[in-house]
Structure 1
Amino acid sequence: MRRSKYSGFGAVLVSATAVAATLIPGSPAGAANADSTSVKVTCSANYVCGWAGTYFNGLGNSTHPPDATQCKRMPIGYLSVINQAFVTVRLWTGANCTGTSIPVGPGESKTDLGQPRRWMGSL
């Protein structure tokens, strides 16, 4: 069996909640993955899943989106993300949801956020 460049991913880092993101080497590329590699990435319903690398590579984290009035600090800076929650989230570059942000709508994914985004707020 050939080792994929994604084989070191292992498990997804999670908070006290259940595992919500899965990386399956060798699977056909999923709709959320615009990369041409043969990797399928999934994220469970009502979670936002992010990775420290582009194209869903590297350490991962899954979390429920924050309430509309909250700003949530992620344990890793996201460079790629899948939003399976039912609300749009904004991912911010600066502490306490400051700096520049990128909105990620329900069911949407981003393979390269340009720079790490460690703060999340809901719209």
Structure 2
Amino acid sequence: MTLVEGFSVTHKRYVPYSHAHYGGNLVDGAYGLGLFGDVGTELSIRTDGDEGLFAGYSSVEFLAPIHAGDVLEATATLTRIGNRSRTIEFELRAVCRATPDRGPSAANVLDPPLLVTRATGTVVVPLASPANRDPD
């Protein structure tokens, strides 16, 4: 386990066209929050040996739209360690984006990646998690 501030985990995921909910193949912002839940769970497992429970967000910023055909990169970074609570900073970037005007399967790598969502949240781990146990 790596219970240290600054530790981070990153996931990448392709956004299928079946997730588009709005005109222009836009995807709802909650899609990114779901990715934050996944990457935050892995961070909790790696830092505390437990999935933990997400207590809530203290801030969420939707900075740019998510489109079907995007490749997203979700990063969770541990920024504060309490007795049982952990503060996590989340960032979601589009690293590739479909370009249907060039063809039905055309896409570009975004350089630099586009920051689409940023959030701060709190995870709570049980007292019985391996990181919270007193050494014998």
| TM-score between both structures, scaled by the size of structure 2 | 0.22
Answer 1 or 2: higher relative contact order, Cα 8 Å, separation at least 6. 2
Task: Give the structure with the larger helix fraction.
Answer: 2
Q: Quick check: which has more Rg, 1 or 2?
A: 2
